Amino acid sequence: MGIFQRFARLPLKSTYIWSLCPQYSTDLTAVDRALIVRSSQLIQHRCVHSRVMGASPGNPGAAPPRLPFSRVTREDLAFFRTLLPGRTITDPDLLKSSNVDWLKTVEGNSEVLLRPKTTEEVSQILRHCNERNLAVCPQGGNTGLVGGSVPVFDEIILSTSLMNQVITFDNISGILTCQAGCVLENLSNYLEERDFIMPLDLGAKGSCHIGGNVSTNAGGLRLLRYGSLRGTVLGLEVVLADGRILNCLATLRKDNTGYDLKQLFIGSEGTLGVITAVSILCPRKPKAVNVAFLGCSSFQQLLETFQCCRGMLGEILSAFEFFDASCMSLLEKHLKLTNPITESPFYIVIETAGSNATHDEEKLHKFLEEVMTSSLVTDGTVATEATKIKALWSLRERVTEALTHEGYTYKYDISLPVEKIYDLVQDMRGHLGDMAKNVVGYGHVGDGNLHLNITSPSKDPALLAAIEPYVYEWTSEWKGSISAEHGLGLKKRNYIYYSKPSEAVALMGSIKAMLDPKGILNPYKTLPDNIH
């Protein structure tokens, strides 16, 4: 089993090994080299089974060959059907949407979709799969952008869609405990009726599950104000690969008793355990929310506006987002949205949230007067009513949607020092020239997080080769992160070394091996094919 597993994990083209990890070549023996050649031959044959759209051998984002997991048998199906009557889906039509990611760039061919309702059911599923060596792909709302939420081959899809119950809510502490399959927007609505809000908000809120948000350590639009899930999640209930239930569902703000295990699972993208319940600290619903939509003529002025904003709005600032003129023209072209102000090279969305409308409006108006008179901002508008606020936010939130109408999108979610953010966009424009149809930049500039998107009418390997690894090397040079909030999933697993040293990745591998020795949880994702 050992050698087979070893060469089966090797990437497709032998040359790839050398380009990604040069020191490895000196350690190869003649036997290893023979195995690599043999594996490439076998893998070409097996390539047919991995229908990763747009992939080609030698592309680090493409799927590796299928690992030797068992295949689902009639006996397995009988077990699932007894455990989950009516909730074991094998109909190919029903499976189709769960096999393809939201961006329609990755497709697996799972033949079984399971919909447990309770943690106990998840435990029994995983215990069975672990014994039988069946791979499992946990799936929430399937809104991930790095191909981490869909199977690569025939992994069993474990969906949280029926685990959608709120367990408890304490309206003094603001601590919400719920199952992992609760849709974020539903939780927001539930909390708003009780005068609280979720500490995170993202464009995918209508579909994403809180379990998925936690497994990917989602950031979103409110991170600037309420911090990341690593601070707001107080406890987790996780089912481990062998079916053991780990109940760390504390509802305590402070608990320093031993190692904080939940931090391992937050952001682990379903590879260390399946999150089944979450307890999360929720902030009070702000009484006064205002949104200002501003136009700036240069990125430098945008940054100065941010500094001014921090100084004058500080404690009430809850979001500071930007997008460029290219994004605005796509919004106008594909979604028929109107630009509320005059054309500008950059647009900023600022949200304030506070407990007193009069105070906040005064602070906001002073700030707006300051940035207008000092010409940091060329035009802008303000909204205090819910309908107008939604309209202004939708300009920022729907950029992702507008891009999907342009053909094929190459998405990069980069963390950089704030001053460097737009340099990357301009550099890419110059570097790609006519090869790309659009090169746009938008994102959480307040958090130093850029969403760089490049489009072409259809998938173009030459364009991809020009973008990668150039964009990752650029990021690495400025000590940035190649995936600020989207995670690594399938597409970016092999780029981890651009942002993490080998000792760190090696330790991650050890932890994975300890928690999931058979590697059945979301294989082919997050960790690189070759840990060295």
Partner 1 sequence: MSARVLVGVKRVIDYAVKIRVKPDHTGVVTDGVKHSMNPFCEIAVEEAVKLKEKKLVKEVVAVSCGPQQVQETIRTALAMGADRGIHVEVSGKDYETLGPLQVSKILAALAKKEQADLIILGKQAIDDDCNQTGQMTAALLDWPQGTFASEVNIEADKLKVVREVDGGLETIKIKLPAVVTADLRLNTPRYATLPNIMKAKKKKIANVKPADLGVDVSSRLEVLKVDEPPQRQGGVKVETVNDLVRKLKEAGRI
Contact track, partner 1, 294-333, x by CB under 8 A? x---------------------------------------
Does residue 388 interact with partner 1 by CB under 8 A?
yes
Contact track, partner 1, 256-295, x by CB under 8 A? -------------------------------x-----xx-
Residues 306 and 320: their CA atoms lie apart, in Å, by 8
Does residue 509 interact with partner 1 by CB under 8 A?
no
By CB atoms closer than 10 A (0-12, 13-18, 19+), residue 382 is middle
User: DSSP class of residue 306?
Assistant: H
Query: In 3D, which of 212, 70, 65 has the Cα closest to residue 135?
Result: 70
By CB under 8 A, the residues from 19 to 38 that bind partner 1 are none
Residues 127 and 111: their CA atoms lie apart, in Å, by 19
Cβ proximity to partner 1, 240 vs 383, nearer residue: 383
Q: Give CA torsion, residues 121, 127, 128, 130, to 10 deg.
A: 140
User: 90: which 2 tokens?
Assistant: 């094998």
Strands (E), 224-316: 233-239, 245-248, 274-281, 288-296
Cβ proximity to partner 1, 257 vs 342, nearer residue: 342
Cβ neighbors of 275 (< 8 A, separation 6 or more) are 180, 211, 214, 215, 236, 237, 238, 265
User: 58: which 2 tokens?
Assistant: 């030698």
The residue from 242, 304, 332, 379 that contacts partner 1 (CB under 8 A) is: 379
Neighbours of 154 (CB within 10 A): 21
Does residue 368 interact with partner 1 by CB under 8 A?
yes
The residue from 230, 390, 405, 479 that contacts partner 1 (CB under 8 A) is: 390
Does residue 382 interact with partner 1 by CB under 8 A?
yes
Q: Give CA torsion, residues 60, 97, 398, 362, to 10 deg.
A: -110
Does residue 385 interact with partner 1 by CB under 8 A?
yes
Does residue 341 interact with partner 1 by CB under 8 A?
yes
Does residue 359 interact with partner 1 by CB under 8 A?
no
Does residue 362 interact with partner 1 by CB under 8 A?
no
Q: How far is the CB of 386 from partner 1 (least distance, A)?
A: 3
The residue from 384, 394, 476, 481 that contacts partner 1 (CB under 8 A) is: 384
By CB under 8 A, the residues from 79 to 118 that bind partner 1 are 86
Cβ neighbors of 303 (< 8 A, separation 6 or more) are 418, 419
Residues 92 and 76: their CA atoms lie apart, in Å, by 18
16-24, 39-47, 72-80, 380-388 -> range binding partner 1 (CB under 8 A): 380-388
Instruction: Give residue for tokens 């970016």.
Output: 492
C-alpha 478, offset from chain centre: 22
296-304, 306-314, 338-346, 472-480 -> range binding partner 1 (CB under 8 A): 338-346
The residue from 141, 144, 380, 446 that contacts partner 1 (CB under 8 A) is: 380
Cβ proximity to partner 1, 41 vs 189, nearer residue: 189
Cβ proximity to partner 1, 96 vs 390, nearer residue: 390
Cβ proximity to partner 1, 139 vs 290, nearer residue: 290
Cβ proximity to partner 1, 384 vs 481, nearer residue: 384
* Residue 156: strand pairing partners: 136
The residue from 26, 338, 457, 462 that contacts partner 1 (CB under 8 A) is: 338
115-123, 128-136, 180-188, 372-380 -> range binding partner 1 (CB under 8 A): 372-380
Q: How far is the CB of 198 from partner 1 (least distance, A)?
A: 18
Q: How far is the CB of 369 from partner 1 (least distance, A)?
A: 7
- Report the length, in residues, of the chain: 532
Cβ proximity to partner 1, 273 vs 295, nearer residue: 295
Cβ proximity to partner 1, 298 vs 384, nearer residue: 384
Strand ordering across the sheet containing 175-179 = 166-170, 175-179, 274-281, 233-239, 245-248
Cβ neighbors of 447 (< 8 A, separation 6 or more) are 219, 223, 224, 415, 484
Task: Tell me the C-alpha to C-alpha distance, in Å, between residue 460 and each of 9, 60, 408, 435.
Answer: 27, 15, 8, 9
Size of the site for partner 1 (CB under 8 A): 23
Cβ proximity to partner 1, 192 vs 477, nearer residue: 192
The residue from 243, 340, 469, 509 that contacts partner 1 (CB under 8 A) is: 340
Contact, 161 vs 266, CB < 8 A?
A: no
Contact track, partner 1, 57-86, x by CB under 8 A? -----------------------------x
Residue type, 522: N
Q: Give CA torsion, residues 18, 20, 25, 30, to 10 deg.
A: -70
Does residue 245 interact with partner 1 by CB under 8 A?
no
Does residue 167 interact with partner 1 by CB under 8 A?
no
Does residue 337 interact with partner 1 by CB under 8 A?
no
Q: Which residues bind partner 1 (CB under 8 A)?
A: 86, 287, 293-294, 338, 340-342, 368-369, 372, 377, 379-388, 390
